[in-house]
């Protein structure tokens, strides 16, 4: 039985072209909104909305949550939430059109799916904490910062990739 590799081959965009488009989108966002892209703001709005729904007294008494709660306006009514939803919807459309949607865990043959998922969860939690400490995710702090030639944006990007490069040595068996 012969397998047609052309039919199973995924076609991805050139990463340089994707990076170029990301830069154009960031500049367009600055032009349209006066600020850059970022996804951690959508997560913050979601957490504030959940806390306000579950325990409104706690949310109003908390110094952090109370800054984002307004009487007649939901914390979810911000363009960052719609940006994040657009990214998710666009990802599903792209995956669906290219036949790449499915329930699978991609991992090295040297580890189990359970270990891969545990490391992904741990990495996501650390990334979320880092985004909170840095007051923004890589999109907001690094890419948008670099787009306006901010020294902090360049330092953030160097710290993200530099740390990733140094730590990768210890975790490489999880994907090689």
What are the C-alpha distances in Å from 91 to residues 28, 84, 85, 133? 20, 11, 10, 28
Residue at token pair 């050139």: 14
pTM: 0.66
Task: Work out the average pLDDT over 131-156.
Answer: 81
Strand-pairing partners, residue 70, are 73
Q: State how far the Cα of 116 lies from the Cα of 176, in Å rounded to an integer.
A: 12
pLDDT exceeds 60 at position 84: yes
Given pLDDT bands bounded at 50, 70 and 90, which one contains residue 93?
very high
Q: 176 with 108: CB under 8 angstroms? A: yes
Q: What is the per-residue pLDDT for 3?
A: 46
Determine how many CB atoms are found less than 10 A away from the CB of residue 150: 15
pLDDT band at 2 (very low <50, low <70, confident <90, very high): very low
For residue 4, pLDDT beyond 80 = no
Where does the pLDDT of residue 160 fall: very low under 50, low under 70, confident under 90, or very high at 90 and above?
A: confident
Q: Is the pLDDT of residue 5 over 50?
A: no
- Residues 52 and 75: beta-carbon distance below 8 Å: yes
pLDDT for the residue numbered 10: 63
The percent helix, strand, coil of the chain (3-state, each to 5) is: 70, 0, 30
* pLDDT of res. 133: 80
């Amino acid at each position: 039985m012969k397998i047609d590799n052309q039919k199973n081959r995924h076609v991805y965009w050139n990463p340089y072209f994707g990076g170029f488009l990301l830069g154009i989108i960031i500049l367009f966002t600055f032009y349209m909104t006066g600020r850059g892209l970022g996804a951690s703001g959508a997560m913050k709005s979601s957490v504030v909305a959940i806390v306000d729904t579950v325990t409104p007294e706690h949310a109003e008494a908390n110094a952090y949550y109370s800054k984002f709660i307004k009487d007649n306006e939901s914390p979810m009514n911000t363009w960052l939430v719609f940006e994040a939803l657009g990214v998710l919807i666009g990802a599903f459309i792209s995956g669906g059109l290219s036949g790449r949607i499915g329930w699978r865990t991609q991992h090295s043959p040297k580890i189990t799916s359970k270990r891969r998922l545990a490391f992904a969860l741990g990495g996501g939690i650390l990334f979320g904490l880092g985004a909170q400490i840095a007051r923004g995710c890589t999109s907001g702090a690094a890419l948008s910062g670099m787009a306006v030639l901010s020294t902090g944006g360049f330092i953030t990007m160097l710290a993200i990739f530099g740390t990733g490069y140094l730590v990768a040595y210890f975790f490489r068996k999880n994907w090689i």
